[in-house]
Structure 1
Amino acid sequence: MTAYSELVWSPNKGLNNGIDMQWGGGSLFAYEDEKKDTETGGKRKLSHHRTVPTVDLSRWIQENTAVEDYVIFKLDVEGAEYDILQKMLEDGTFKWVDKYYGEFHSWQPVTGWDKKKKEQLVSDVQKKGKPMLDWAAEYRTYRDFDTLHPPLVSESFVGSPGTVYSGCTAPPSGAPRLTLTVLVGMNAKAAHKLVETIAAHSSRMPVTLFLYGDFVDTFPELVTEWAKTFTIGMREGQPFPLGHFTLQAQSWIRMGLVSTIQRLSEVDLQTAYYLPEKVTDAVKSEAKSRGVRIIQPTARFPPTDEKWLLSVANYYKYRDVERVPKALRVIANQLEDKGGIVSLDSDHPDSYMISVFLMDYLAEKSGYNLVSITECLK
Structure 2
Amino acid sequence: FSWSTQLFRETYPDGKDYIIHSFELDARLAPYFASYSNHVLHCPVAVGGKDGNITAYAESAWKPDKGKVAGKDMQWGGGAIYASDAEKQDEIHGRRFGVKNVIPMVDLSKWIQENTALEDYVIFKLDVEGAEYDILDKMIKDSTFKWIDKFYGEFHDWFNVPGWSYQRKQELRNTLRTNGINMLDWAGEYKKYQDMESIHKIDVPADFPGAAGVVYSTCSPSPDGPARLALTVQVGMNRKAAHKLVETIRAHPSNMPVTLFVYGDFVQDFPDLITKWADRYTIGIREAGPFPADHWVLQNPDVMRMSLVSAVQRMKEVGLRPAYYYPDGLSQRVQDTAKNRGLRIIQPTTKFPPNLGTLLKEDNYYKFRDVERTPKALRILYERISTGGILSLDTDHPDSYMISAFLMDYLYENSGFQLVSLNDCLRK
Normalising by structure 1, report the TM-score: 0.96
Aligned partners of 1:338, 1:96: CA distance in 2, in Å?
A: 63
Provide the C-alpha distance between the structure 1 equivalents of 2:259 and 2:305, rounded to a whole number of angstroms: 23
- Post-superposition Cα deviations, 1:271-310, rounded to whole Å, max 9, x if no partner, equal 20111112222222222222221111111101112x2322
Counterpart for residue 80 of structure 1: 131
Q: Which residue of 2 aligns with 1:354?
A: 403
Instruction: Give yes or no for contact 1:235–1:276 (8 Å, CA) kept in 2.
Output: yes
Q: Does 1:90 align with 2:135?
A: no
In the alignment, is the contact (CA less than 8 A) between 2:205 and 2:321 conserved in 1?
no
> What is the root-mean-square deviation of aligned Cα atoms in Å?
1.4
Q: Give the deviation of 1:106 after TM superposition.
A: 1.5
Could you tell me how far apart the structure 2 residues matched to 1:154 and 1:231 are? 13
Is residue 62 of structure 1 aligned with residue 113 of structure 2?
Answer: yes
Paired position in structure 2 for 1:344: 393
Change (3 A) 1:32 1:60: same
Q: Percent identity between the aligned chains? A: 57
Alpha-carbon displacement from aligned partner over 1:333-376 (angstroms, at most 9, x marks no partner): 111x2111100010011111111111111111111111111111
Residues 193-272 of structure 1 aligned to structure 2 (within 5 Å): 193-272=244-323
Q: Which runs of 4+ in 1 moved over 6 A?
A: none
Which residue number in structure 2 is paired with residue 127 of structure 1?
Answer: 178
What is the identity, as a one-letter code, of the residue corresponding to 1:360?
Answer: D
**Corresponding residue number in structure 2 for 1:4:** 57
Query: Could you tell me whether the CA contact under 8 Å between 1:212 and 1:236 is conserved in 2?
Result: yes
Residue 41 of structure 1: how far off its partner (Å)? 7.0
Correspondence 1:293 to 2:341: no
Residues 176-187 of structure 1 aligned to structure 2 (within 5 Å): 176-187=227-238
- Residue matched to 2:381: 331
Give the match's secondary structure for 1:179.
Answer: strand
Q: Note if 1:14 corresponds to 2:73.
A: no
* Counterpart secondary structure, 2:56: strand
Partner of 1:154: 205
Q: Structure 2 CA distance, aligned partners of 1:36 and 1:165?
A: 59
CA–CA distance in structure 1, aligned partners of residues 389 and 225 of structure 2? 14
| 1:94–1:129 CA contact under 8 A, matched in 2 | no
Q: Provide the residue aligned with 1:51 in structure 2.
A: 102
Q: Which amino acid aligns with 1:309?
A: L
- Give the secondary structure class of the aligned counterpart of 2:321: coil
Q: Tell me the secondary structure at the aligned position of residue 106 of structure 2.
A: coil
Report deviation, 1:32: 1.5
1:138 aligns with 2:189: yes
One-letter code aligned to 1:98: D
CA distance in 1 between counterparts of 2:140 and 2:180 reads 6
Q: Which of 215, 218, 240 in structure 2 is aligned with 1:189?
A: 240
Partners of 2:390 and 2:377 in 1: how far apart?
Answer: 16
Q: Give unpaired runs (5+ residues) of structure 2.
A: 1-53
Q: 1:275 aligns with which of 315, 323, 326?
A: 326
Say how many residue pairs are matched.
374
The amino acid that maps onto 1:104 is F
Listed as ranges, the matches of 1:27-46 within 5 Å are 27-37=80-90, 40=91, 42-46=93-97
SS at the partner of 1:126?
A: helix
Contact 2:204 2:322 (C-alpha < 8 Å) held by counterparts: no
Following superposition, the deviation at residue 322 of structure 1 comes to: 1.3
Q: 1:315 aligns with which of 348, 356, 365?
A: 365
Answer whether contact 2:259 2:283 (CA < 8 A) is retained.
Answer: yes
Does structure 1 residue 377 correspond to structure 2 residue 426?
yes
Letter in 2 for 1:145: M
Quote the residue 1:363 is aligned against: 412
For residues 260 and 405 of structure 2, the distance between their equivalents in structure 1, rounded to whole angstroms, comes to 17
Larger CA deviation: 259-268 vs 110-119: 110-119
Equivalent-residue separation in structure 1 for 2:130 and 2:92 (angstroms)? 18
TM-score of the two chains, using structure 2 as the length reference: 0.85
| Distance of aligned partners of 1:328 and 1:48 in 2 relative to their CA distance in 1, 3 Å threshold | same
Check whether the contact 2:296–2:328 (CA below 8 A) recurs between aligned residues.
yes
Instruction: Give distance in 2, aligned partners of 1:178 and 1:36.
Output: 69
